Amino acid sequence: MSFLTRELKVRGDHILLGLTSLMTLGVIFSLVLYVFTRSDTSLSMLIGFAFCSLFHWAFYCLHRQFNKNTSLLQHITAGTIFLLFFFVTLYNPLNYIEMWVYLLYFPIILGLLENEKVFRVWGALFLVFYSLFLLMDPTLYMNLVVENMMMIVSRFLFGLGSLVFGYLMVKHLTLVKKLTINDTEIQSKEHVVYVLNTLVPIVETKTQTSRSEIDQSSQLMKKMAAHFPEERIEDWEVELLALAHYVSRVQWPDYLFEKGDKLTSYEFKIVQEHCLLGAKLLGNFQAFERIRTAFLNHHERIDGSGYPYGLKERDISVLAQILGIVETFLAMTKPRVYRDEFSLEEAFSEIEEMSGEIFSADIVAALVTSITDEKIEHKDRNIS
């Protein structure tokens, strides 16, 4: 259960606990009153508050037990509450002649479940039962026909009002939940970006590179993402992915960045682990799920030769392939201790050989087109 879910559940529990506590205080007050007065009124109050207190405690326990994030359990909770109202209303242990008032509490309590579908189902059942109960009320036939009709209509309107109030509670609580989720996601993004940015100077010192790589990688990935509109890749996702990719090198030993010969199997394993580190840096926030998955899989290859899971073809997301091919291209076009930088033509030639084996053909085409368009735009700006 997420922190947000726990927070919302605790809020509902507090409301119910407050109502239950009020009923319990009523029991204590009426008990003290009965001890001193021994009157029938105080006895009736004691019995009524005791019954209501037991009911509220029972519902509070049911709410804590069953109120989860699944509709099935919420239907079970709503059904249990409905049965309690059904039997208490028909049995009427206190012989209260205005039991229809008691039924008006059901839609309000139902609204605390914060589930609109559950409210519609059990709200409809409540309306049927409430209407039948009004028509079967024997007190109605003690008055004139016109008075009976007016009383039925007025009580029915009270029932509709209770349903409307309960529905408004559901809508309000749902809106509050959505706003809270949005605020939490925004705060999560800001916190993760802040933490990653604090690591950028460390990576610059270790790798002897510039943070400009983040912008360069980000801009190229955005251009490529535009070739896949069906993926609906957001700019902030690309920017965060580029930042996390740069920072993930923070755990590599310093000497690896100056090593001129081939990596040992142990050193290669350390390099591979940056996929896992980057995913950990992004945390477990639901909003970052696609970014985290892309980061984990950006060294996967469509022929199954990649790592860490050996995924193939469609099992590798478009965003993961975009990061993977951009990383490969930028690595080729930058000088290394053990080689000179590739020319643009040489890099294109190398990457095109990977088409259909390492990267999918449409990913390779998107990279080539994006870089070519960027070169044309840059040339046009210089001419103008």
Give the structural domain span for 143.
3-180
300 versus 87: which is more confidently predicted?
300
Q: Name the domain boundary from 135, 161, 180.
A: 180
Q: Are 168 and 112 in contact (CB under 8 A)?
A: no
Q: Is the predicted pLDDT of residue 238 greater than 60, yes or no?
A: yes
Are residues 124 and 256 located together in one domain of the fold?
no
Are residues 331 and 240 located together in one domain of the fold?
yes
Are residues 220 and 98 located together in one domain of the fold?
no
What's the number of CA atoms in the CB half-sphere (13 Å) around residue 35? 6
Closest CA to 295 of 263, 326, 254: 326
Q: Is the predicted pLDDT of residue 180 greater than 80, yes or no?
A: no
For 259-276, how does the pLDDT look when each residue is reduced to its tens digit (9 = 90+)?
666 777 777 787 777 788
Q: At what angle do helices 361-383 and 318-332 cross, to 10 degrees?
A: 60
Three-state DSSP state, 256 = helix
Three-state DSSP state, 338 = coil
Q: So what's the pLDDT on residue 87? A: 78
Are residues 285 and 162 located together in one domain of the fold?
no
Residue 136 forms part of a structural domain: yes
Tokens of 260: 């001129």
10 band by pLDDT with thresholds 50, 70 and 90: very low
Q: So what's the pLDDT on residue 51? A: 74
Residue 191 forms part of a structural domain: no
Q: Give this prediction's pTM.
A: 0.57
Residue 201 forms part of a structural domain: no
Residue 187 forms part of a structural domain: no
Residue 189 forms part of a structural domain: no
Are residues 215 and 170 located together in one domain of the fold?
no
Q: Which whole number is the average pLDDT over 311-334?
A: 91
Tokens of 305: 């030769």
Q: So what's the pLDDT on residue 2? A: 42
Neighbours of 212 (CB within 10 A): 9
Cα angle, residue 304 at apex, residues 231 and 235 outer, rounded to 5°: 25
Q: Is the predicted pLDDT of residue 108 greater than 50, yes or no?
A: yes
Closest CA to 159 of 121, 120, 133: 133
Q: Which whole number is the average pLDDT over 199-209?
A: 84
> Which of these ranges, 4-13, 211-220, 309-318, 345-354, has the smallest mean pLDDT?
4-13
Residue 321 forms part of a structural domain: yes
Please report, for the domain that includes residue 362, its CATH number. 1.10.3210.10
> What is the total count of domains within the chain?
2
8 band by pLDDT with thresholds 50, 70 and 90: very low
Residue 113 forms part of a structural domain: yes
Q: Are 82 and 106 in contact (CB under 8 A)?
A: yes
Q: So what's the pLDDT on residue 341? A: 84
Are residues 160 and 280 located together in one domain of the fold?
no
Q: So what's the pLDDT on residue 235? A: 92
Are residues 331 and 225 located together in one domain of the fold?
yes
Are residues 75 and 216 located together in one domain of the fold?
no
Residue 307 forms part of a structural domain: yes
Neighbours of 379 (CB within 10 A): 10
Are residues 169 and 257 located together in one domain of the fold?
no
Are residues 252 and 141 located together in one domain of the fold?
no
DSSP string, 343-377: PHHHHHHHHHHTBTTTB-HHHHHHHHHHHHHHHHH
360 band by pLDDT with thresholds 50, 70 and 90: very high
Are residues 36 and 152 located together in one domain of the fold?
yes
Are residues 136 and 35 located together in one domain of the fold?
yes
- Mean pLDDT of all residues in the chain? 80
For 96-105, how does the pLDDT look when each residue is reduced to its tens digit (9 = 90+)?
777 888 888 8
For 109-141, how does the pLDDT look when each residue is reduced to its tens digit (9 = 90+)?
888 888 888 899 999 999 998 888 887 766 555
